[in-house]
Each structure stands twice: as C-alpha cells, then as structure tokens.
Amino acid sequence: MPGVEGFIYPNEFELQWGILIVLYPFITGLVAGAFILASLERVFNVEAVKPTYRLALLTALAFLLVAPLPLQLHLGHPERSFEMYLTPHTQSAMAMFGFVYLWYLMAVLVLEIWLDYRRDIVLRWRASKGISKVVYGAMALWSGNIGPSALELDDRVGRALTVIGIPSAFLLHGYVGFIFGSVKANPWWSTPLMPIVFLFSAIVSGIACILLLYFATCWARRVTVDMRCVDTIAKYLYYAFLVDFTLETLDLVHRLYESDESFHALDFMVKTRLFTSQIVLQILVGTLVPIGLLALTQLFTLRDKARRVIYVLAGGLTLVGIFAMRWNVVIGGQLFSKSFLGYTTYKMQFATREGLLPAVGLLILPFVVLWVLVRLLPPWGEGESAAGGDVAG
C-alpha cells in the first residue's frame, strides 16, 4: 500500500484526525494563553502589560469564537453535535467540551469584556447615530448607568471574574490535553503530563501571539511601541517557555529511559517521519532558537531596536514551534500502528472539507473576527490614538 511501511491494522491506513484537529488545540491554546496574559494586569497588577490588556481579551474572544469550527467541520454529522449538550455521556472527556467551552465563553470571557468595556459602550451609544446607536444600545443592554458606584461595581465583579477566569483558562486547555492524554490505547498520547504540557505550551503560544499582535497594532496605528510593556511580556514568554521546555524534555527523557514496548516504534517515527516537524521545527527552530534569542535579551543590555527585532523573531518562531508541537501530537500519534509493527503517512487533501484550504481559512478567520471586534470595541485608551478621541466625543 502506498505510504505504508510494515504492518498496520486495516483501519489505520487513513488518519482519523487531520489538520483540523491540529488547529483545535492550537486555537484553544492561544485563547488560554492570551487570557492568562490579560489576567496578569488585572489580578496581579502588572502595570507594564496594561497596553495589551484589552487586546489580549479581544484576541482570546476572537479565537474562542472560532475554536469549535474545526471540530464542527471534522464531524461526520455536525448537525448532531448539539446532542453533546442534550445527552452528554458523562464518562467521556470529549462530552465535557461543550460545557467547558460555554462556561469559558459566556461566563468568563464575554462577561469580563462587557464589564470592562461597559463605560465605553455607553459613551459610544450616546455619541453614535443610526445603526451604530442600535448596535451599541443593544451591547449596553439599554442601560446607560455609568455613575461612579456602577463603574466601581463593574470593576469589582470584573476582578472576581478574572480570578475565576484563570483556573477556567487552565481548565479549558488542560482539558484539551486530557482528551489526548487519557487515550490509553495510544502510547504517544497517553501520559499524565499531557494536560500540563498543553497548558504551558498554551501560555507560551498565547503570550507570543499577543506580543506579535501588539507590535502589529502599533505599526498599523503608527504609535510608538511601549518598550517597558514588550520587555515585560518577553520576560514572561521566556520563563513560561523554560517551564514548557522542561516539561517536554521530562516527557522525552522519561520515554527514553523507560523504553517500554512502544519505544522502538516511536523512536523510529521521530527519527524518520516526524524528523522535520519534531526535531527541526518544534525543538530546534520553534523552541531552542526562540529561547536562545530571549535569553540574549535577559542577559545582555541591547538597544531598543535590537530587542524589538528579537521579540518579533522569537514570537514568530514560538508560534511555529507550538503549531509544530500540536501537529506532532495529533498527526504523529496516528502515524504509527497500534500494533507497533508499521507506519502510515498523512495524506493531506487540499480543497476538501478537512483539507488544507479550510484549515488556512480557519487560521485567518480569528484575525477577521478580531478586526471586527477591534472596530467595535477599540482596545486602546482615549489618549493613545485618534480613534480614542471618538470615544470621548
């Protein structure tokens, strides 16, 4: 059979989960990471990252809105997916996705963004005309109370929500890791480290994404980059990455040292079919190089411009590395046979329902959603841009 080496079970010729399922943990990881970065400012009062606070929240929302779409596209019967809410099988890790998702989307993220933006929304409602007035009026729930006591209450509730939101963000992505980590039939996935590795890689990818988006928005708005802000974010990225890399290395060392029955099959796979995506893209280009670059900025005093270049480069490579990590988990976990006697190949299609084209579309879509959200709810303060002036007006 083409693309098959050795013996595989008949049902292993085609991969069950393709690139869309790679996107799922990648996108939810960005959500969790972006939210955790936003929480730093709110809960731990890290003033330096304040310029990215609202941007991070809106980014988390944009990606969260898109997160279920790859799953829907993948399902054989997407029209039945609502059954997960109506008759969930409580023993199934996957059945809980809908509830974790809804909790995070509605109870945490939307509510927190709404509370944070309520004053702006009311001001825009008052200042706008026509269709905008209706939109902002609806967003304000037709309540224009932005007196000091109301705003103080908003702030208190918002802070409490963020405190709830942090474990929720941990739950969201730790849970995604559990979906894979609890499959005992698959030794590539089955490890209790999986949720925690997913969580830290999520934090890393979310921070990198916000760092890049902040640079992009500063460039688009022609405002100066707040170096104190990006230095702080880069520092968090560096430390989170070190934890993430340590955990992944622990997993690797554990596998190497234990060398159980699956070891030779997995070892062979990593050295052949996964070599480019695992060794080159994930470990070298996507982990060691960005960690090295970020270490430079921590160890030496570099000029602002040099640091900016390094941050953008490290952020970009980090996202490549984390995407490769998701790929290696999802696709890599299906390239070897559960008989440990053979290997198959992922034959990615292009313009089919589960092909590359919809996957690229789904990666672009969150940025379109984010653009709409930013237009609707500008995340920058009043004094920072011309758009801010409209809010006050």
Give dist(CA 176, CA 244) in Å, integer.
16
Which residue, 206 or 333, has its beta carbon nearer to another protein?
333
Whether 289 contacts 279, CB under 8 Å: no
Closer CB to another protein, 40 or 71, in the complex: 71
The mark string for 36-75 relative to another protein (x by CB under 8 A, - otherwise) is -----------------------------------x--xx
**99 lines the binding site for another protein (CB under 8 A):** no
Q: Which of residues 244-273 bind another protein (CB under 8 A)?
A: none
Taking residue 45's Cβ as centre, other Cβ atoms within 10 Å add up to 8
Q: Which amino acid is at 275?
A: F
Q: Which listed residue (43, 73, 94, 127) binds another protein by CB under 8 A?
A: 94
User: Do 297 and 315 meet the contact criterion of CB atoms below 8 Å apart?
Assistant: no
What span, in angstroms and rounded, lies between the C-alpha atoms of 140 and 118?
A: 7
One of 14, 47, 152, 304 touching another protein (CB under 8 A): 14
187 φ/ψ angles, rounded to the nearest 5 degrees: -65, -20
Residues binding another protein: what is the number (CB under 8 A)? Answer: 40
Amino acid at 19: I
Structure tokens of 315? 């952020």
CB closer to another protein, 284 vs 341: 341
Q: Shortest gap between Cβ of 3 and another protein (angstroms)? A: 13
**C-beta closer to another protein: residue 182 or 385:** 182
Name the residue nearer to another protein (CB basis): 63 or 178.
178
CB 335 within 8 A of CB 16: no
Q: Which helix (H) or strand (E) holds 232?
A: helix 227-258
Decide if 119 contacts 391 (C-beta within 8 A).
Answer: no
**CB 385, min distance to another protein, A:** 45
Question: What is the CB neighbour count within 10 angstroms for residue 255?
Answer: 18
* Residue closer to another protein, measured from CB, 355 or 388: 355
- Residue 201 identity (one-letter amino acid): S
Is residue 93 a contact point for another protein (CB under 8 A)?
Answer: yes
H or E element at residue 170: helix 148-181
**Min separation Cβ 259 and another protein, Å:** 13
Q: What six digits make up the tokens of 123?
A: 């001001």
Query: Does the footprint of another protein cover residue 118 (CB under 8 A)?
Result: no
Nearer to another protein, 186 or 385 (CB): 186
Q: Footprint of another protein on residues 170-209 (CB under 8 A)?
A: 179, 183-186
Tell me how far apart the alpha carbons of residues 34 and 59 are, in angstroms, rounded to a whole number. 7
Selected range binding another protein among 4-12, 241-249, 269-277, 317-325, rule: CB under 8 A: 4-12
Choice between 179 and 359, CB closer to another protein: 179
Min separation Cβ 53 and another protein, Å: 35
215: its two tokens: 């640079």
Q: What residues between 316 and 335 interact with another protein by CB under 8 A?
A: 334
User: Judged by CB under 8 A, does residue 128 bind another protein?
Assistant: no
Q: What is the DSSP letter of 336?
A: B
One character per residue 72-91, x = contact with another protein (rule: CB under 8 A): --xxxxx-xx-xx--xxx-x
Residue from 244, 238, 239 nearest 310 by CA: 238
Output the smallest distance, CB 25 to another protein, in A: 14
Three-class SS state of 84: helix
Torsions phi, psi for 45 (to 5 deg): 55, 45
At position 156, the amino acid (one-letter code) is R
Using CB under 8 A, list all residues that contact another protein: 6-7, 9-14, 16-17, 71, 74-78, 80-81, 83-84, 87-89, 91-95, 97, 179, 183-186, 334, 337-341
